[in-house]
Amino acid sequence: MPLSIFLAAALAACAQKLPVDEGRLVIALPGAPVSVDPRVATDAYGEQLLQMTHASLVRRDAAGNPVPDLAERWESPDPLTHVFHLRTGVRFHDGRPLTSADARYTFEWILDPANRSPHRALYRHVAEIGTPDPRTVVFRLSEPFAPFLSTMVRGIVPAGSPARGYTPPAGAGPYRIDDVSPDGEAVLSAFDGYYAGPPAIRAVTVKFVPDSNVRFLELKAGSVNFALNGVDPDLLPAAGASGRLAVEEAPGGNVTYLGFNLRDRVLSDARVRRAIAAAIDRESIVRALWKGRADLAESILPPGSWAADAGIPPARFDPARARRLLDEAGYPDPDGDGPLPRLRLTYKTSQNELRRRVAAAIQEQLRQIGITLEIQSLEWGTFFSDVKRGNFQIYSLTWVGIADPDIFHHAFHSASAPPDGANRGGYSEPEVDRLTEAARRETSREKRREMYLRVQRILARDLPVFPLWVGRNVLVRDRRLTGFAITPDENYAPVAAMRILPAAAASAGAGAPR
């Protein structure tokens, strides 16, 4: 590396002060937001940035329950009407006070076809938005839609805000966006007029760092001091061993699963699907590849969700049973211990390194029961297109950001085949159709929960998909940063509650690494 050495010698520079010493929180995100306007942003990075800057009518707690944000309370006098009462004294970043007109404007803007918001379909049940007084917003729906409250987690912007590409509209969140450059970084500063009081950390930079090794190196160097799920499991021990960094983990909410194509002659037999499930040793994969940082899942609903069924018996690793099931299904072993397989199947996955290694582990485990698995690791656009078109036998994906159990209608109702939903495997079960339809219209939380518990039992029996695990949320941060509560949905709003400890207090051992 002659050039490198030459350059280093030519450009000697002194060690610089770290951002944390200057009171600055530097967050690394794995990608840049496509949009910084809550009315159009659909990408995860855009939404995570906006969670710090734009307040919504309601927020979600760790179990997915709506809790007050800009609306201090709400009621539903009938299944078609939702009334929100706004807080008093809320101001936007530009100083304007929040009124019901702003909330109405935000959602009417989304619903206006001319604005082409990708969120429009989410609010298709909204027939009318009324503002009887400046503190009250009334949504009237065209039909009962139980998940409605969970769709109200959408940043409110001041009435009349134009949509201007990469220039964010004002919000009412704890931080304001001072500057954002595409593919570069976003610079945020504390908003003193925030209704819940100004945040303690005054300056935040959000850096967009696509390379996972580099994110880790930035943390090591101190130029980044906060990364949520930004470090590969392999590198976490090294991060924990560093004196300056702390590693924290908490339950996650994104369920990874195997999807089966039920239109396939072989996989349409539930015994084959059960055999595959029994042949996969999830625990050893989690231990070896995830370094233990994932919890086994028995449903595609995050385990912390209010509608999750904790009573589903876990799928047990039992290769003998898997072989028996294959025998019963008519796929006997042709040559005992010989090389000939009972079955050949293909498994599609993305090019993500961890997913490829998981695929290889599953391939080996299925080989033990006589199934030869051909792995196809495809570029994302091609892979997802194949999955949606039903061009697969088995695929693996992760459900991200499930906010409401209505996902069961989206993923398993017989009318939800792509492009109308995500029932990609062609699952059809009248009982599931009936229950997911009824639960949509049911306003009683308790009754809805009962219905979803039954749906989950049926899915555990039929196995149209095999839930694998939920990755734990892992935060790597500077030891001096405290106060961030990790939520299953990787929400960045708790950044507002963070503080920077004085250097001496941190060295006394705040935040033990795990």
Partner 1 sequence: MRRYVLRRVLHAVPVAFGVVTVVFLLIHMLPGDPVEIMLGESAVPAQREELRRELHLDRPVLAQYGEFLSGLPRGDLGTSFRSREPVLREIGRRFPATLLLAATSVGVAVLVAVPLGVLAAMRKGRAADYLSGVASMVSLSIPNFCLGPLLVLLFSVQLSLFPVGGYGTARHLVLPAATLGTGMAALLTRMVRASLLEEIRKEYVTAAFARGLTGRAAVLRHALRNALVPVVAVLGLSFGAVLAGSVITETIFSWPGIGRLLVQAIDARDYPLVQGCVLVVALCTVAVNLATDLLCARLDPRIRYE
- List contacts with partner 1 (CB under 8 A): 1-4, 6-8, 11-13, 15-16, 34-35, 42, 113, 116, 118, 120-122, 124, 165-166, 181-185, 207-211, 213-214, 217-218, 220-221, 223-224, 380-382, 384-386, 388, 410, 418-422
Exposure of 31 in the CB half-sphere (CA atoms within 13 A): 8
In 3D space, the residue among 404, 462, 408, 399 whose CA is nearest the CA of residue 437 turns out to be 408
Residue bearing tokens 């995830």? 290
Residue 12 C-beta: closest distance to partner 1, Å: 7
Amino acid letter, residue 286: V
Residue with smaller CB distance to partner 1, 78 or 420: 420
* C-alpha–C-alpha distance, residues 46 and 77, integer Å: 34
Residue with smaller CB distance to partner 1, 32 or 460: 32
Residue with smaller CB distance to partner 1, 223 or 268: 223
Residue 333 C-beta: closest distance to partner 1, Å: 36
Chain center to CA of 458: 25
CB neighbour list of residue 17: distance below 8 Å, 6 or more residues apart: none
Residue 408 C-beta: closest distance to partner 1, Å: 14
3-state helix, strand, coil in the chain (%, to 5): 30, 25, 45
Residue 424 C-beta: closest distance to partner 1, Å: 10
Contact 263, 399 (CB under 8 A): no
432-438: long-range contacts (C-beta < 8 A, 24 or more apart)?
A: 432/408, 432/458, 432/459, 436/406, 436/408, 436/409, 436/412, 437/409, 437/413
Contact 144, 441 (CB under 8 A): yes
Residue 8 C-beta: closest distance to partner 1, Å: 6
In 3D space, the residue among 132, 134, 154, 37 whose CA is nearest the CA of residue 90 turns out to be 134
Residue with smaller CB distance to partner 1, 403 or 453: 403
Residue with smaller CB distance to partner 1, 19 or 252: 19
Residue 168 C-beta: closest distance to partner 1, Å: 13
* C-alpha–C-alpha distance, residues 227 and 327, integer Å: 48
Residue 340 C-beta: closest distance to partner 1, Å: 33
Residue with smaller CB distance to partner 1, 34 or 63: 34
Helix H or strand E segment including 411: helix 407-412
In 3D space, the residue among 393, 394, 386, 458 whose CA is nearest the CA of residue 428 turns out to be 458
Residue with smaller CB distance to partner 1, 294 or 387: 387
Residue 384 C-beta: closest distance to partner 1, Å: 7
Residue with smaller CB distance to partner 1, 210 or 330: 210
| Bridge partners (DSSP) listed for residue 257 | 397, 467
Residue 11 C-beta: closest distance to partner 1, Å: 6
The C-alpha angle with vertex 148 and arms to 146 and 149, in degrees rounded to 5, equals: 105
The C-alpha angle with vertex 104 and arms to 98 and 108, in degrees rounded to 5, equals: 140
* C-alpha–C-alpha distance, residues 171 and 65, integer Å: 23
Residue with smaller CB distance to partner 1, 271 or 388: 388
Residue 482 C-beta: closest distance to partner 1, Å: 24
Residue with smaller CB distance to partner 1, 223 or 372: 223
Phi-psi region at 220: left, alpha or beta (left = phi > 0; alpha = psi -120 to 50): alpha
Residue with smaller CB distance to partner 1, 221 or 510: 221
Residue 483 C-beta: closest distance to partner 1, Å: 26
